[in-house]
Amino acid sequence: MNRRQNELENYKYKAYIPSRPATWWLRNFKYFLFMMRELSSVFIAAFLILFLYELFLLSKGSTTHETFQLSLRSLGFIVFYVVALAFALYHAITWFGVMGRIQIVRLGKLKVPPALVTAGAFGGWIAVSVLIGYFYFKVL
Amino acid sequence: MMYKRDRKEPFWWGLFSLGGVIAALLVPIHIFVAGLAVPLGLLEPDVLSYESMHQLVANPWIKLYLFVLLALPLYHAAHRIRFTLHELGMQKGGRFIAILCYGGALIGTAFTAYILLHIL
Amino acid sequence: MSQQTITLKVTRYRPEQEEEPTAQAYEVPFNEDWVVLDALNHIKDQMDGTLSYRWSCRMGVCGSCGMMINGEPKLTCATFLRDYYPGEIRVEPLDNFPVVRDLVIDMSDFLEKFQAVKPWIVRQEEKPVEEGEYLQTPDQLSDFKQFSMCINCMLCYSACPVYGPESDFIGPAALALAHRYNMDSRDEGNEERQEVIASEEGIWNCTFVGECSEVCPKDVDPAAAIQRTKVATTGDWFKSFLLPGNKK
């Protein structure tokens, strides 16, 4: 048997094995934020399913579609959208926030400083959002 | 302990990653426009009306954009849900949970494609 | 002027006489320049010689004195009493490891996983001495230097919610070190290491909580090392899939 097994066999006393409760993520604030980041994906998926449903209703005729659009302006849905937006923003901020640490960008022989990579990612996000907003607010 | 390179995980992680980029880049503005712009009085309700939206979605490029927007983040959510369940104590039945999560994303993708291609 | 004091609540575990760890309070002198290790040494030398704990260099380079201080994994030689005074300081053994006695944990699991990633330069063929040394530019060094600063203190393993006594996860430090060697221009062992680090128990178990990098006293950033490995492995996977000639 290998050395470790031998040591374990000969060590008389029992080591104490700590356990991790399912509520480990409530132990400190950073773990909690991590769990919120993971939860954000659920709200994003929920919004997209709702969006898909809206598109589906386009095949059910004008009345059905309009009735549903009106119901989306009720308090319940507005609360959902606010919460979903908060989670979506948190996801985006944590996602782009780590770009600099993970993605090494090279321009020729030079390594772009991580802070610049992150800034570029955020800049790209804002630019895309402005573009889509412009499309909705001005083009349509 | 014998370690063996996993040949399936990179695929799901790749989709998770791509879905995450789409979710981060596009979803916030779409939530704002779809749900809050009208109640806030920043957008005329008829921009999101039946006629306006039906015309917009008829465009095949819009369909492609919507497919990317709606389908990819599902894999992002599936992956996160799968691992979060594992971290919340569900260590047994990992394979079953994975099938449930990615299966859900695949079903969602199928629905999205069907609605965009056949119905609209 | 009477000596100020501070209370340390220290975990005791004497397996020959108890089933579970308990906490024992010690009132130690408070000094502005004392670290928790100084307080523990004071307890051992002056108050209770039965207390067991690991330490060595007392200057943050050996990685021996890692413990949980008020629930956070820290090096006791680098944690000042004054940052907690006048409150109590809870000193517990490093989380996620079996406790052998008092503040001493069993690190054999870490050592096994550490060895498994082959943390050394792997060459297909060794360069003979006559051919001289391996040359490396400062730029090549910068590719992996950060990840070479690990002192094996295992604070990252304590901070990681995926790792644990029942977990097969290889863990932050081992994976960061694998990355260090993969990025070293002298190394040719990437493929060999992939079998280990790209396994289910390797990088794919990591969910990028990021706490490992937060607690690292040497700024190794193991979380970044793991995510970069995921990106590289995934990229290779898709390339081998889309370009069949590329066997990976």
pLDDT digits (tens, 9 = 90+) for C51-63: 999 999 999 999 9
Looking at residue A9, its pLDDT comes to 65
Confidence class of residue B46 from pLDDT cuts 50, 70 and 90?
confident
Helix/strand/coil for A86: helix
Q: Is C191 on the interface with B (CB under 8 A)?
A: no
Which among C13, C164, C221 has CB closest to A16?
C13
**Does B3 map to a domain?**
no
Looking at residue B119, its pLDDT comes to 77
CA-based nearest distance A101→chain C, Å: 6
Q: Check CB contact under 8 Å for A30 and C224.
A: no
Q: What are the residue ranges spanned by the domains of chain C?
A: 5-105, 108-242
Place of tokens 């990840």: C147
Which among C96, C99, C166 has CB closest to A16?
C99
pLDDT digits (tens, 9 = 90+) for A32-58: 999 999 999 999 999 999 999 999 999
Alpha-carbon C228 to chain mean position: 19
DSSP character at residue C156: H
Is the CB of residue C185 less than 8 Å from the CB of residue C139?
no
Q: Which residues in C lie closer than 8 A to residue B91 (C-beta atoms)?
A: 166
Q: Which residues pair with A111 in a beta bridge?
A: A106
Residues present in chain A in total: 140
In chain C, the N- to C-terminal Cα span, in Å, equals 72
Q: Give the range of the structural domain holding residue B21, as residue numbers without chain letter.
A: 13-119
pLDDT digits (tens, 9 = 90+) for C190-212: 999 999 999 999 999 999 999 99
Confidence class of residue C145 from pLDDT cuts 50, 70 and 90?
very high
Q: Check CB contact under 8 Å for A16 and C228.
A: no
- Of the residues C233, C238, C240, C241, the best mutation for testing chain B's interface (the one with the most B CB atoms within 10 Å of its CB) is C233
Q: Provide CB contacts within 8 A for B88, sequence distance 6+.
A: A22
Q: Provide CB contacts within 8 A for C77, sequence distance 6+.
A: C35, C36, C37, C55, C57, C58, C59, C60, C65
Q: Check CB contact under 8 Å for C209 and A31.
A: yes
pLDDT digits (tens, 9 = 90+) for B61-90: 999 999 999 999 999 999 999 999 999 988
CA–CA distance, B114 with A58 (Å, rounded to integer): 14
Closest CA to C212 of C200, C204, C221: C221
For residue C237, the tally of other CB atoms under 10 A from its CB is 21
pLDDT digits (tens, 9 = 90+) for C66-88: 999 999 999 999 999 999 999 99
Q: Is B33 on the interface with A (CB under 8 A)?
A: yes
CATH 3.10.20.30 for domain C5-105: yes
**Does B5 map to a domain?**
no
The dotted CATH code for A28-139 is 1.20.1300.10
pTM: 0.94
Q: Is the pLDDT of residue C247 over 80?
A: no
Looking at residue A109, its pLDDT comes to 83
Residues present in chain C in total: 248
For C183-205, letters b (16+ CB in 10 Å) and e give bbeebebbeebbbbbbbbbbbbb
Q: Check CB contact under 8 Å for B1 and C233.
A: no
Q: Is the pLDDT of residue B118 over 90?
A: no
Instruction: Give chain C's contact residues with A (Cβ, < 8 Å).
Output: 13, 15-16, 20-21, 71-72, 95-101, 106, 108, 112, 139, 142, 161, 164-166, 207-211, 214, 221, 223-224, 227-228, 231
Over residues C84-108, the mean pLDDT reads: 96
Confidence class of residue A6 from pLDDT cuts 50, 70 and 90?
low
CATH of the domain at B90: 1.20.1300.10
Token pair of C215 as six digits: 């607690």
Domain covering C108-242, topology: Fumarate Reductase Iron-sulfur Protein; Chain B, domain 2 (1.10.1060)
Q: Which residues pair with C199 in a beta bridge?
A: B5
**Does B104 map to a domain?**
yes
Q: Which residues in C lie closer than 8 A to residue B4 (C-beta atoms)?
A: 195, 199
Looking at residue B78, its pLDDT comes to 97
Looking at residue A139, its pLDDT comes to 83
Angle at the Cα of C138 (from C132 to C141), degrees rounded to 5?
80
Looking at residue C70, its pLDDT comes to 97
**Does B51 map to a domain?**
yes
Over residues A14-33, the mean pLDDT reads: 94
**Does B91 map to a domain?**
yes
Confidence class of residue A7 from pLDDT cuts 50, 70 and 90?
low
Looking at residue C1, its pLDDT comes to 59
